[in-house]
Structure 1
Amino acid sequence: MSGMSDVRLALQGQELVAGQRRAAAPREISHWRLFWQRCHTRKALLNLTCEQLRDIGLTAEQARQEGVKPFWRS
């Protein structure tokens, strides 16, 4: 193997270990992560251009409706 492959394998191993630690974390943490993700992606929707919205199949009104929802609502 080349040195680059060894580095990739080491990084992938670290990511797997980190993922296992997250999976073993208390359930409340995953709820907060979900809330943060909703908040982050909804804010991002509000900043997309018309072309970007068209690419993902949303109208500006649909993006606005989703973007202004509070993070605790699904």
Structure 2
Amino acid sequence: MNGLSDVRLTLHSQELAAGQENGTRAAAMRNAPSCLSRWHLFWRRLRTRKALLNLTTEQLRDVGLSREQALEEGLKPFWRI
């Protein structure tokens, strides 16, 4: 390995450790597009979960979900991750 790869691995491991310390909620906000406020994120989550409930069995198979998984995710309140 060259020196640059070592630096990248070190930085990546530090990012992973920081992500674990912040928890999943902070990670979800960090992965959200920067233009979204918390309320926009909630509305987006609400719309996408409702859309998930309307997918056909074939569409769910395309995205790799079963009907039970789609129902579980689609029926979650918008404030839950």
Tell me whether the two structures share a fold, i.e. TM-score over 0.5.
yes
Tell me how far apart the structure 1 counterparts of residues 47 and 73 of structure 2 sit (CA, whole Å).
Answer: 12
Higher Cα radius of gyration: 1
SS of 1:52 mapped into structure 2: helix
State which of 37, 62, 66 in structure 1 corresponds to 2:44: 37
**Is residue 57 from structure 1 mapped to residue 60 from structure 2 by the alignment?**
no
Separation (CA, whole Å) in 2 of partners of 1:34 and 1:66: 16
Question: Within 1, Cα distance between the matches of 2:69 and 2:44?
Answer: 18
Residues 58-73 of structure 1 aligned to structure 2 (within 5 Å)? 58-73=65-80
CA offsets 1:16-44 (integer angstroms, 9 cap, x no match): xxxxxx85xxxxx6000100010000000
Q: Which amino acid aligns with 1:38?
A: R
Q: How many residues get paired? A: 48
CA-CA distance at 1:60 after TM superposition: 0.2
Unmatched runs of 5 consecutive residues or more in structure 2: 1-33
Give the alignment's Cα RMSD to 1 decimal. Answer: 1.5
- TM-score w.r.t. the length of structure 2 is 0.56
